[in-house]
Chains A and B, each alone.
Chain A
Amino acid sequence: MSSRDQILAAVKQHQPEASVLPSLEGLSGNMPGTLEAYRKVLEGLGGSLFEIKDESEIPALLAEHYPHLQRIIRVGDEQRAWINEDPHLLEDVDMAVVPGQWGVAENGAIWLTEAEIPVRVLPFICQHLAIVLPAGRLLPTMHEAYEKIGAPQTGFGVFIAGPSKTADIEQSLVLGAHGAKSLVVFITAG
């Protein structure tokens, strides 16, 4: 008998009587889905937020706040050779600018998938990360987010909430562990 059969047989034998799944109604309560609520949480996580009318404002804002960037990748740019290259070659990316699908006000997280980031490692390997999100894509809680996200459309997706961090050394919070050292969110109209 294979381990698979052994395990499944044991589980079937030992599992308790099946119970009903609970409803998820009302779990969001009155949590706000506003830009102010989202901004407050994101800034508390060490991220920063700019409201812009148009994506064309981004290069100037980056130049102002991140003056020493060498290699910038913008998903949506014409030079997309990097998409087909070895992902290891992205290791010198200083700033990656990627689109986001949905933002969650309760925890500052933004959902994005392979549809937004053609190379999975991009938002992790870059030194700094910028995500562009339309204001109308802000939701109150994770419940609304999963409702909107629906079934998986790609092989990988991720909620990103702020810059990478750790508090493993005496609970001292340090921003910038293995992922991006900072996160800037550009909120566009619409």
Chain B
Amino acid sequence: MNRQTADHATLADKFNEDEPRVDWHDQTLWWVRAKRDKMAWSIPEWEQLRETASAIKLNALGNLHDYLVQFEQQAIQNGAIVHWAADAEEHNQIVTGILKKHGVHHLVKSKSMLTEECHLNPHLMANGIEVIDTDLGERIVQLAKEPPSHIVLPCIHKKKEEIGELFHEHLGTPAGNADPQFLTAAARQHLRKEFLQAKAAITGVNFAVAETGEMVVCTNEGNADMGAHLADVHIACMGIEKIIPQRKHLGVFLRLLARSATGQPITTYSSHFRQPRPGQELHIVLVDNGRSRQLGREDFRNSLKCIRCGACMNTCPVYRRSGGHSYHTAVAGPIGAILAPNLDMKDYADLPFASTLCGSCSNVCPVKIDIHQQLYKWRQVLVKEGYTTAAKTAGMKAMSGVLSTPAVYRTAGKMGRWVMRAFPGMVNNRLNPWYKQREMPAPPKQSFSQWYEKNKKS
């Protein structure tokens, strides 16, 4: 990846060239945040629920080895075939292998951010296998040849007119029709054909229960079920951190997930897959891809509690005004910024800095991940590992020198203010990024320290 053009600040700058569009994106996502608030306030025990979910996930992380073994045992007893993938490449090979074995060249897939993370679709295509994403939002970005910009609302960045155009081009809907009802009905027809033909279906997994070996998939559209219940082969792909200990814990997570994600009490369907249908093959692919490494990072392991609700994205003032694509990674926003550096520090060194550390994210997170504290800690790690510039380090060393020596600090301050007063053009110009859209603060004749020196007797 070309770091120069692909970093968050550059992409966010581009995103902000269209201010009305930024307003639209920001207001749409703020509205989703507001819906979450309304739902949260309808449950007096909301904060207790968050604390409980966080504690369950902590227990899961502390016993992950045994829970994984237990899950596998149960799943195999239930008739599923369990695969283990150390990384994204292996995951893609396993999935491709299963499909090739069954002679599948065309299949359906419901939402799985894990498969996005592993870049499964292009791998399948390169192997002559066409995959149709059946979540409406994902189908839209698939037709637009773009990645999803939000883990729950994949095409939140697209206007209905743009979607109308896409459907006109690919589904033959009338030109100029941008009515969501009409377009959804057209997608229903188009994808229904796909469901009825598909011999194989890939789904994600929202929660995998160690106690029972079952997997829960949550959708509003019913697309995961339409795929899995008609296909001869169901492949469920999951990150190893999706394990929860017991069936009853699903009550906690299902009460939190949709309320946090979209401000609904629950998704329309919460499907519990335990055994394959008679005559069907159920494959479960357990994926590591850096998760065991993150598990070992004491400061960052709590990021593995994530249930992929997207609430952090909806509340993040930076995400709302820069869009998911500015993060150039499958999972964007605040949670993405603490997960991605673990995958590749070089490619994602910019993400933890795409934040003001306001802390809103940590406080909407249903599993209480300390996201903003982890963002701060990642900054220290990245600088220490050298993912910064020589210029920045030199500047910081200079600043540290000035600020550690009171006399130098006072002189520098005095001089700086004098220059600003005498030669305002030196700072009030295009080279000063502050000055692009803001006035500089007016430089006073004396600092507080100088005033105090003169006046402290009084």
Q: Check whether chain A touches chain B (CB < 8 angstroms).
A: yes
Which of A's residues lie within 8 Å of B, judged by CB? Answer: 2-4, 6-8, 10-22, 24, 26-31, 41, 45, 87-88, 91, 106-109, 120-121, 124-125, 141-143, 145-147, 149, 151-152, 154-172, 174, 176-180
Pairs A-B, 6 closest by C-beta atoms: A179-B222, A155-B275, A14-B296, A107-B265, A177-B221, A10-B292
Smallest Cβ-Cβ distance to B137: which chain A residue = A168
Smallest Cβ-Cβ distance to A8: which chain B residue = B65
Instruction: Identify 23 residue pairs between A and B in the complex whose beta-carbon atoms are under 8 Å apart, listed by A's number.
Output: A3-B85, A7-B240, A14-B296, A22-B51, A28-B45, A91-B196, A124-B229, A141-B251, A142-B250, A146-B247, A155-B79, A157-B274, A158-B271, A161-B267, A162-B268, A167-B220, A168-B137, A168-B155, A170-B28, A170-B163, A170-B180, A177-B187, A177-B220
List residues of chain B with CB within 8 A of the CB of A165: 220-221, 268
Given that A107-B266, A158-B225, A159-B269 are known contacts, is A169 also in contact with B160, CB under 8 Å in the complex?
A: yes
Contact yes or no, A178 B188, CB < 8 A: yes
CA distance A170 to B212 in the complex (A): 38
Known: A121-B225, A142-B250. 18 other contacts (CB 8 A): A3-B288, A8-B69, A11-B65, A14-B293, A14-B295, A16-B295, A19-B58, A19-B62, A21-B55, A24-B252, A27-B52, A91-B192, A145-B251, A146-B248, A156-B271, A163-B268, A168-B135, A179-B225
Interchain CB contact (< 8 A) of B268 among A13, A31, A120, A161: A161
Contact yes or no, B43 A178, CB < 8 A: no
List residues of chain B with CB within 8 A of the CB of A26: 45, 48
Within 8 A of A (CB), among B53-68: 55-56, 58-59, 61-65, 68
Question: In the complex, what's the smallest C-beta–C-beta distance from A139 to chain B, in angstroms?
Answer: 11
Question: In the complex, what's the smallest C-beta–C-beta distance from B112 to chain A, in angstroms?
Answer: 16
Cβ of B134 < 8 Å from any Cβ of A?
A: yes
Contact yes or no, B62 A17, CB < 8 A: yes
List residues of chain A with CB within 8 A of the CB of B326: none
Contact with A along B243-255 (1 / 0, CB 8 A): 0011111111011
CA distance A107 to B222 in the complex (A): 17
Smallest Cβ-Cβ distance to A104: which chain B residue = B266
List residues of chain B with CB within 8 A of the CB of A162: 268
List residues of chain B with CB within 8 A of the CB of A22: 51-52, 55-56, 59
Interchain CB contact (< 8 A) of B226 among A17, A18, A109, A121: A121
Within 8 A of A (CB), among B164-191: 180-181, 183-185, 187-188, 191
Instruction: Give the A-B pair count, Cβ closer than 8 A.
Output: 259
Smallest Cβ-Cβ distance to B298: which chain A residue = A16
Smallest Cβ-Cβ distance to A7: which chain B residue = B288
Interchain CB contact (< 8 A) of B265 among A18, A151, A161, A176: A161
List residues of chain B with CB within 8 A of the CB of A171: 28, 31-32, 153, 156
Contact yes or no, B255 A176, CB < 8 A: no
Interchain CB contact (< 8 A) of B272 among A3, A124, A156, A174: A156
Of A7, A12, A87, A158, the most chain B CB neighbours within 10 A belong to A7
CA distance A107 to B220 in the complex (A): 13
Question: In the complex, what's the smallest C-beta–C-beta distance from A175 to chain B, in angstroms?
Answer: 9
CA distance A177 to B138 in the complex (A): 13
Smallest Cβ-Cβ distance to A1: which chain B residue = B86
CA distance A45 to B268 in the complex (A): 9
Smallest Cβ-Cβ distance to A168: which chain B residue = B137
List residues of chain B with CB within 8 A of the CB of A163: 268
Contact yes or no, A8 B68, CB < 8 A: yes
Contact yes or no, A24 B275, CB < 8 A: no
List residues of chain A with CB within 8 A of the CB of B273: 156
CA distance A49 to B383 in the complex (A): 60
CA distance A180 to B187 in the complex (A): 14
Question: In the complex, what's the smallest C-beta–C-beta distance from A136 to chain B, in angstroms?
Answer: 20
Interchain CB contact (< 8 A) of B160 among A29, A31, A91, A170: A170
Given that A15-B64, A18-B62 are known contacts, is A155 also in contact with B277, CB under 8 Å in the complex?
A: yes
Question: In the complex, what's the smallest C-beta–C-beta distance from B97 to chain A, in angstroms?
Answer: 13
Contact yes or no, A158 B270, CB < 8 A: yes
Smallest Cβ-Cβ distance to B45: which chain A residue = A29
Interchain CB contact (< 8 A) of B240 among A11, A45, A156, A170: A11
CA distance A168 to B180 in the complex (A): 9
Smallest Cβ-Cβ distance to A41: which chain B residue = B265
Interchain CB contact (< 8 A) of B222 among A2, A13, A180: A180
CA distance A143 to B296 in the complex (A): 33
Contact yes or no, B214 A152, CB < 8 A: yes
CA distance A149 to B271 in the complex (A): 14
Cβ of B49 < 8 Å from any Cβ of A?
A: yes
Of B61, B230, B276, B298, the most chain A CB neighbours within 10 A belong to B230
CA distance A33 to B2 in the complex (A): 56
Given that A14-B295, A165-B220 are known contacts, is A124 also in contact with B55, CB under 8 Å in the complex?
A: no
Contact yes or no, A18 B59, CB < 8 A: yes
Contact yes or no, A142 B251, CB < 8 A: yes
